[in-house]
């Protein structure tokens, strides 16, 4: 291929149907040259561009970044760079300077599951999000997202933007706004507490008593998980009045520094109700209604009361299932070693089955200096596509209510839901 003058995509380039390749249960993206631009963050200041990229973007090794800088694919530019300043691989960068990387991007695979459109009108598009697919562009994902796939397959519905988000392993109702007025309506509904979200989760143990979990929490970014502070859990009959406390009072009451002094505990409340017990009594299906909206709130609250989501390894699930990339790599005995040409990332977890994705990229889509070619799947850590047993079942706002069908993991062992 023409590696001297390849077609370079930017964040404005729209995904197309022929950008994707289906390989068995996976949806892959054809590798493409991408113009990645970012500014030097405060915590990056005082480091060289090579040090920053080696630490923050680990899919490529130091030798690659040094060569990319040498040939001009990695550079510093932009309004924050002083005129006449010469930047070398030893130059310490300042906050706000703009870094640019012309990268040959290999996006991680996602499950090949159709995105069901539940409602599409002039204001909103509502879909049943499959598990294992991120909502929007983030990190290594740009096209292999719910928004990117919809853009490629249902371009007539564009433009639209997500009004809220669901974590990658979570499935269920996801709402997109198609215009500013619609986005503002749902924003105001969220701010005033007029939206209602109902999730279903499959938890360990025999859950018996409906309750309001009232336990402040914060999110620890070093641990990549929520931390819950002990508080009283009240049964529904004694707590019904407290569910409607003024939200501003809740925020003030819930704020408290954690022992490290680097996070804020905020009020968090979740109503948990029993739906059914599995015939073997080992798991229960529960309905969860978050009154507040904290990161990982439902997952952390269920763990806090002793009923973690059964396959949520991060919060105490023991059935094996979705886990972090780093922990998954350790369990599989995989270490990142991009200096080893034999090291490849082709192990993908799909349900309980470990599969190898060995698809080879056609020669005209390869890049001579890319360490991930000739494979579609990048040489990196494994990707976990196991569905988390948490599903956004119902979403209500602006006098509208949308309902998603129960997922397979909820229907298989709970005959009463049929």
Residues involved in catalysis: 167
Separation CA 378–CA 221 (nearest Å): 25
Q: DSSP label at 403?
A: E
- Which two structure tokens, joined as six digits, stand for 164? 């809220």
Are residues 292 and 250 in contact, defined by beta-carbon separation less than 8 angstroms?
A: yes
Strand, coil or helix: what is 337? coil
**Interatomic CA distance for residues 321 and 311, integer angstroms:** 5
CA-CA distance, 398 to 186, in Å (whole number)? Answer: 7
Gyration radius of the chain's alpha carbons: 23
Closest CA to 38 of 69, 88, 78, 91: 78
Question: Angle formed by the axes of helices 49-56 and 62-71, to 10°?
Answer: 140
**Nearest to 171, CA basis, from 413, 404, 411, 345:** 404
Name beta bridge partners: 29: 20
Distance CA 57, CA 139 (A): 9
Nearest CA to 384 out of 58, 109, 107 is that of 109
Residue 334's alpha-carbon distances to 64, 111, 312, 339, 377, in angstroms, are: 21, 22, 21, 14, 15
Q: Are 52 and 137 in contact (CB under 8 A)?
A: no
Give the span between the Cα atoms of 299 and 115, in whole angstroms. 24
Q: How far apart are CA 285 and CA 277, in angstroms?
A: 6
């Amino acid at each position: 291929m023409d590696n001297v003058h390849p077609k370079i995509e930017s964040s404005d380039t729209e995904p197309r149907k022929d950008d994707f390749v289906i390989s068995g249960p996976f949806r892959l993206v054809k590798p493409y040259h991408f113009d990645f631009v970012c500014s030097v963050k405060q915590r990056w200041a005082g480091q060289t561009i090579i040090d920053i990229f080696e630490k923050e973007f680990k899919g490529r090794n130091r030798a690659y970044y040094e060569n990319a800088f040498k040939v001009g694919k990695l550079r510093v530019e932009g309004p924050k760079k002083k005129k006449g300043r010469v930047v070398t691989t030893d130059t310490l960068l300042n906050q706000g300077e703009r870094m640019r990387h012309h990268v040959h991007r290999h996006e991680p695979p996602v499950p090949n599951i159709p995105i069901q459109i539940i409602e599409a009108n002039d204001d909103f598009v509502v879909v049943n999000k499959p598990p294992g697919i991120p909502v929007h562009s983030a990190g290594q994902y740009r096209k292999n997202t719910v928004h990117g796939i919809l853009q490629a397959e249902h371009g007539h519905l564009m433009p639209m933007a997500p009004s809220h988000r669901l974590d990658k392993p979570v499935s269920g109702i996801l709402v997109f706004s198609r215009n500013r007025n619609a986005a503002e309506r749902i924003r105001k509904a969220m701010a005033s507490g007029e939206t209602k979200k109902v999730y279903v989760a499959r938890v360990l143990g025999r859950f018996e008593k409906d309750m309001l979990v009232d336990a402040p929490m914060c999110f620890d970014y070093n641990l990549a998980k929520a931390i819950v502070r002990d508080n009283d859990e009240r049964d529904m009959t004694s707590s019904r009045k407290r569910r409607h406390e003024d939200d501003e009072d809740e925020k003030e009451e819930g704020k408290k520094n954690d022992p490290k002094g680097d996070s804020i505990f905020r009020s968090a409340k979740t109503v948990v109700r029993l739906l059914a017990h599995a015939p073997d009594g080992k798991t229960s299906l529960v309905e969860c209604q978050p009154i507040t909206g904290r990161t990982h709130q439902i997952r952390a609250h269920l763990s806090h009361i002793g009923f973690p989501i059964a396959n949520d390894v991060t919060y105490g699930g023991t059935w094996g299932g979705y886990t972090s990339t780093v922990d998954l790599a350790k369990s599989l005995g995989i270490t990142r070693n991009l200096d080893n040409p034999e090291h490849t990332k082709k192990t993908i977890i799909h349900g309980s089955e470990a599969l190898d994705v060995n698809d080879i990229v056609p020669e005209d889509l390869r890049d001579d200096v890319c360490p991930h070619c000739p494979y579609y799947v990048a040489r990196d850590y494994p990707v976990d596509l196991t569905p988390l047993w948490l599903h956004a079942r119902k979403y209500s706002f602006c006098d509208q209510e949308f309902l998603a069908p129960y997922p397979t993991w909820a229907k298989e062992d709970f005959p009463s839901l049929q």
